[in-house]
Structure 1
């Protein structure tokens, strides 16, 4: 039996398969790539032959990714990113501008603040490309420390000496309740008023969970968690379903959830969190990073000023 011809796999093979995996449909993939359906089908089958394993299964007109296919997509995406990074790093070292900026940010910051910063940066430096990854604050910092992103926006301040960390602004945390809740029409609320209710929380290790516990502790109680999840948007989905209440960052106000009301927490020691910009000190002199930092600082100040005017 011949050995799999894995050495014959090309970037084009991987790019086509990643595109197919996003749709799991030969026709839509072909239309998006501007090729025939037969070309996509032959490409997938050829990749399977080269690897010596099945990547997809087909039952009638339905196509489904197998576990091996999902693994290949994950690894292929890493390879394709590495190729782009290698090109951009080489161009940067040769004195050419770096065209790819890898951004990691927390969930709520991806709703309004980070897109506004990147849009303004793109106006100043046309042709830039961004790769954005959103996650919990702790995972964002880990991504930066692993060298998997260039710039991080997070609510956790890393302390490593090789990082530059700048506070941008401080935002409130808010009580999230279902629309129709007796508290939903209030402008302000004390957390003591929901001390006996079930809470929806991010999973252990998430900074949003830490902020929630700290806010409740200042109000004099320990929250009882009904459900723990790994995504801040799922937290609000659970709140909207009426399962419990939660504490969420002010940045979630950049997104309207039709079944959730967010209320300012008004306790003697109001609960808030600071948003930081962090990046590797080694790239701090890069013009693109300097421009991004200037925009982020100014928009942070404007965010605080706008909130003050609204209050």
Structure 2
């Protein structure tokens, strides 16, 4: 019986369902697929009939995945990833151009570390192409878990059992202040000294926000968040305009902001974060991912 059901489910069924599962919104799924909303609705309902299992449910005005839908989305990622890997490996062995490697990374890592890793990888695999996407650490992990990235460089370690997670290096967190701030000329600062200042922070739920709040907690205070942003470059722009101070990773030193100074934090056991490389480990891992991991681990040791 189970085999009969499996034979009825097509790759197209799974692909449409995964697009819907990303947002649990028929309109957004239809826009991404370039079809009508009824088409997506019919596809999901048809998939439920083929499986004989409810995948979605009404929750007030919105539709959400049932537990069975979440399970299918997770497993479907693996199925479609395995299909892509099989095709890519076969084409590569036949001498066809290499696949597109999809890389997700946090903002600060896109300044120096990730480009250096990709440049070295390209030297050994000149036919390889990249599609890069940057965001907060939590959104980078979500992108990886949805199957929209092949590898992720992030400061949040995924906990799913089929993920390979390699710690690469640990870096300090720095206090960012306006370049003309009285603190800017110091060699180091204590966070307690800015406890009464307004702070600029990433949006709630981001790992950078958590690092900032935890660093301030170790210094004995709760920061007063005056401005929130959705990327670190925006956060630093707000700092440079004098709207507050912030806590940022040392990787931001890979570029110079003319209106921002970044200072080491002097408290004992001052704040730091660990950077990880993560990628799905279930089934066959594409050789380009394994080579990228090797390069990233070596460069991480050198940087750490």
**TM-score, normalization by structure 2:** 0.70
Distance 2:90 2:269 in 1: 52
Q: Closer, same or farther in 2 for the Cα pair 1:284/1:178, shift >3 Å? A: farther
Match of 2:143 in 1: 143
Distance 2:82 2:127 in 1: 18
Distance 1:297 1:117 in 2: 10
1:224 is aligned to 2:224: yes
Q: Deviations over 1:153-208 (max 9, x none)?
A: 00001110010001000000000000111110111111011010000010011100
Q: Closer, same or farther in 2 for the Cα pair 1:133/1:126, shift >3 Å? A: same
| 1:1-311 correspondence runs (5 A) | 89=85, 91-94=87-90, 96=92, 98-282=98-282, 285-304=285-304
**Once the 2 structures are TM-superposed, how far is the Cα of residue 86 of structure 1 from its aligned partner?**
11
SS at match of 2:92: coil
Check conservation: 1:218, 1:269, Cα contact below 8 A.
no
Distance 1:257 1:247 in 2: 15
**Once the 2 structures are TM-superposed, how far is the Cα of residue 95 of structure 1 from its aligned partner?**
5.7
Q: Deviations over 1:58-93 (max 9, x none)?
A: xxxxxxxxxxxxx96x657xxxxxxxx999645325
Q: Unpaired segments of 5 or more residues in structure 1?
A: 1-70, 77-84, 305-311
Check conservation: 1:173, 1:272, Cα contact below 8 A.
yes
Q: Closer, same or farther in 2 for the Cα pair 1:261/1:283, shift >3 Å? A: farther
Count of aligned pairs between the two proteins: 226
Distance 2:195 2:33 in 1: 46
SS at match of 1:94: helix
Check conservation: 1:155, 1:207, Cα contact below 8 A.
yes
Distance 2:187 2:293 in 1: 34
Check conservation: 1:283, 1:289, Cα contact below 8 A.
no
Distance 2:291 2:209 in 1: 32
Q: Deviations over 1:43-67 (max 9, x none)?
A: xxxxxxxxxxxxxxxxxxxxxxxxx
Match of 2:23 in 1: none
SS at match of 1:189: coil
Distance 2:90 2:300 in 1: 33
Distance 2:287 2:132 in 1: 19
Distance 1:298 1:163 in 2: 20
Check conservation: 2:85, 2:285, Cα contact below 8 A.
no
Q: Deviations over 1:72-128 (max 9, x none)?
A: 6x657xxxxxxxx99964532526264211000000000000000000000010010
Check conservation: 1:88, 1:99, Cα contact below 8 A.
no
Q: Closer, same or farther in 2 for the Cα pair 1:75/1:177, shift >3 Å? A: farther
**Once the 2 structures are TM-superposed, how far is the Cα of residue 283 of structure 1 from its aligned partner?**
6.0
